[in-house]
Amino acid sequence: MSDDRPQQPLGHQVIQSYLKTIATSPGVYRMLDAESRVLYVGKARNLRARVSNYARRSGHSARISRMIANTASMMFLTTKTETEALLLEQNLIKQLKPKFNVLLRDDKSFPNILVTADHDYPQIKNHRGAKKEKGAYYGPFASAGAVNRTLNQLQRVFLLRDCSNAMFESRTRPCLQHQIKRCSAPCVGKISSEDYRQTVKDAERFLCGKTTDIQSRLAGEMDAASEAMEFERAAALRDRIKALTQVQTAQGINPKGVAEADIIALHLEDGQACVQVFFIRANQNWGNRDYYPRVGADVDAAEVLEAFIGQFYDQRDPPRQLILSHEIENPDLMAEALTGKLGRKVELLVPQRGEKAELVDGALRNARESLARKMAETATQTKLLKGLAEAFDLPAPPGRIEVYDNSHIQGTNAVGAMIVAGADGLMKNQYRKFNIRGEELTPGDDFGMMKEVLTRRFKRLLKEDPDRKEGHWPDLLLIDGGAGQVSAVREIMRDYGVEDIPMVGVAKGLDRDAGKEEFHRTGKRPMALRHNDPVLYFVQRLRDEAHRFAIGTHRAKRAKAVGATPLDDVPGVGAGRKRALLAHFGSAKAVARANLSDLKAVDGISDSLAETIYAFFHERG
């Protein structure tokens, strides 16, 4: 019996059908499958010429052949220049996450050091996010740890304050930081405004790499103090010089010939990639970070590195130099795009000898070692997931495990937490927190809280991914609790028609000792695992991580509630004006009692806003 249904055209035939209508201008093309999901995003100097390559029946790598075979339609966007096409391509890749593109999966922002400019005694602090606050920014640093180490060093050497303006204004005596010689206590007049500003300038010169000048000046001041028999001041200056020397020694890599650059090295092995990035600023090493972009088995280094650079600097300012381990496909085009973004010249270098080549070799060694560790961890994780499937009679090793926990104190500031783990370990960008909203819940009702969390979770899944094609549905649920918790969650899942996801409740044994956990499943008797079973340790780590995340979220919510004041509800009073009011009056209660003329006297508070604040506290009820 013949099949009269129309046959789906082959991928290269679909592509061929577009050639007559495609422009010869620069632009971006998208390949889509039969369900309109984006398979691949590419750029071209000449769209027609580039796409015609895909219409050939042979001569493609295995990855490109699979992509062509799955192509059911295409989309095109023309641009004025090839540089615009490059920028648009990388933006679309990050947004759409196509299956066949090289994809940078970790895209967190980097922290900076901020020296504020809104106070007579500037504050030095860690800053992440948009640079809206007035002051000088130094960075980026590779991690919060790298920033905190540098801040600790700066405080030891320059004795700058790290307290908030409100804390500064409220001090009547020096704090612990002054007692341990980490702050000069400007809050209580232990240092003059002029001397403090000099130390701020020194700290900023240090962050700009001018450490030799600072040491010379401090040495001169120390000698002068000794001659004047000001031995206490001379000893303090000696300690600062010693601390500054220790800082320089501790930094490790301090290249003399590289003032501002990112060292980017790529190692490819067995279809996996690691990119190591070192941040060099002011001739100092400000940390490094490794990345594991999604790649295929048949991609080359030039393609991976170009895709990484395009996506990495999509939302970040590049430095003056990118020092690379490999050539990329379009170095001149990438340099032009980054130069336009930064507003000054950006160079791409692949050094063959000298100090820059040594820096690349060091980054390459780190990339190679990091990828080896990652592959070993992945192999171990694969074994654990297989063992988990065998222990709990799962149909296959789970690709996505969701673990849930709650945290509260006698029902107050209740939060739910979800962590996610998979083949690559903990997936922290998938973690979620839930502020418990149920007003009818009895304080401390763990069953009710878990029901609310799971209800909201599955409601969202059914709305956003009803066909389970986006990879957001769990293959296994781990619930902190016993039979009651499992029963409550099973009831929710049944209400939403989701009864095919395995679920395990993790409960402590009778004496609540770790290692004697009981595991509860619907319709089955409680079970336990051997005391030294690696799967047991794995489940314990997942449960402890969920508990840590839940506790951290709860503490943050509680701290926010403790710091809340009636000023938060006054229209037109944001964080800055709230600080100004508290600094002027000392407390929210004093603001509430203030008369209108006193409110108008506060810096940053207009007459109309003063009237609004006065009316808020005196005309309610």
pLDDT over threshold 70, residue 565: no
Give the pLDDT mean for 490-512: 82
Task: Tell me, yes or no, if the pTM score tops 0.85.
Answer: no
> What is the pLDDT, as a whole number, of residue 107?
66
Q: Determine whether domain 566-618 maps to CATH 1.10.150.20.
A: yes
What average pLDDT does the segment 91-100 reach? 90
Place 360 in a pLDDT band, splitting at 50, 70 and 90.
very high
Residue 597 exposure: Cα atoms within 13 Å on the Cβ side: 0
CATH superfamily of 260-373: UvrC, RNAse H endonuclease domain (3.30.420.340)
CATH (one of 3.30.420.340, 3.40.50.300, 3.10.50.40, 3.90.1310.10) for 400-560: 3.30.420.340
User: Which distant-in-sequence residues (6+ apart) come within 8 Å of 364 by Cβ?
Assistant: 265, 267, 276, 325
Q: Report domain extents, the chain.
A: 11-96, 112-250, 260-373, 400-560, 566-618
DSSP 541-607: HHHHHHHHHHHHHHHHHHHHHHH--GGGGSTT--HHHHHHHHHHHSSHHHHHH--HHHHHTSTT--H
* Torsion-angle region of 204 (φ positive above 0: left; ψ -120 to 50: alpha; else: beta): alpha
**pLDDT at 5 (0 to 100):** 45
Are 116 and 138 a contacting pair, CB within 8 Å? no
Buried (b) or exposed (e) across 417-444, using 16+ Cβ within 10 A? bbbbbbeeebbeeebbbbebeeeebeee
Q: Is the pLDDT of residue 169 over 60?
A: yes
pLDDT > 90 fraction of the chain, expressed in percent and rounded: 34
Burial class of residue 163 (count of CB atoms within 10 Å of its CB; 0-12, 13-18, 19+): middle
CATH number for the domain running over 11-96 = 3.40.1440.10
Give the pLDDT confidence of 278-305 residue by residue, as tens digits. Answer: 999 888 888 889 999 988 778 899 999 9
Which pLDDT score, from 0 to 100, does residue 319 have?
A: 93
Q: What is the pLDDT of residue 442?
A: 60
Q: DSSP class of residue 429?
A: G
Per-residue tokens: 110 = 């980097």
Q: What is the pLDDT of residue 287?
A: 85
pLDDT > 50? residue 1: no
pLDDT in tens, 523-551: 888 898 888 889 999 999 999 898 888 88
pLDDT in tens, 16-46: 999 989 999 999 999 999 989 999 999 999 9
Q: Do domains 260-373 and 400-560 have the same CATH topology?
A: yes
pLDDT band for position 212 (cuts 50, 70, 90): low
